């Protein structure tokens, strides 16, 4: 099965980002494909390399980057939501890219399921 995910909550403020990452990792481990993760609203904060959690805490941004590097999951950040929050290309963590809502529509069309995490 081919999944795409929509994440609309930031890391460390809501369970949505952790749950989305766990879902993606579990789906891949079971042989499914995760085509794209689209970060929208405060979810765009999952993409910034400026995030520095304490050493004993999980690093959600690095988890997403690793998912991209190891499984070629397309990590797309909504351009309008990102710019409203001061996130530009130069602060993106590895593996993330900025694009428009058309990428979310495309993900919904080309996936068997579009699963949302957050409000």
For the chain, give every domain's residue range: 2-117
The answer to whether the predicted template modeling score (pTM) of the entire model surpasses 0.85 is: yes
Q: Catalytic: which of 34, 78, 81, 107?
A: 78
Question: What pLDDT digit, counting tens, does each position of 9-60 carry?
Answer: 999 988 999 999 999 999 999 999 999 999 999 999 999 999 989 988 999 9
pLDDT of residue 97: 98
Q: Is 90 a catalytic residue?
A: no
Residues 2-117, CATH architecture: 3-Layer(aba) Sandwich (3.40)
d(CA 88, CA 99): 11
CB 112 within 8 A of CB 2: yes
Q: Which residues pair with 117 in a beta bridge?
A: 7
pLDDT of residue 119: 85
Question: What pLDDT digit, counting tens, does each position of 71-99 carry?
Answer: 999 999 999 999 999 999 999 999 999 99
CB-CB neighbours of 86 under 10 Å: 10
Angle at 15 (CA atoms; ends 50, 72), nearest 5 degrees: 60
């Amino acid at each position: 099965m081919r999944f795409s995910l929509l994440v609309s909550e930031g890391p460390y403020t809501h369970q949505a980002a952790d749950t989305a990452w766990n879902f993606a990792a579990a789906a891949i481990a079971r042989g499914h494909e995760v085509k794209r993760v689209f970060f929208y609203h405060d979810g765009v904060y999952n993409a910034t390399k400026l995030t520095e959690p304490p050493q004993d805490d999980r690093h959600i941004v690095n988890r997403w980057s690793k998912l991209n590097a190891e499984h070629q999951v397309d990590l797309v950040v909504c351009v309008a939501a990102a710019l409203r929050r001061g996130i530009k290309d130069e602060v993106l963590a590895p593996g993330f890219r900025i694009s428009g809502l058309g990428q979310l529509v495309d993900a919904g069309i080309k996936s068997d399921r579009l699963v949302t995490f957050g409000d």
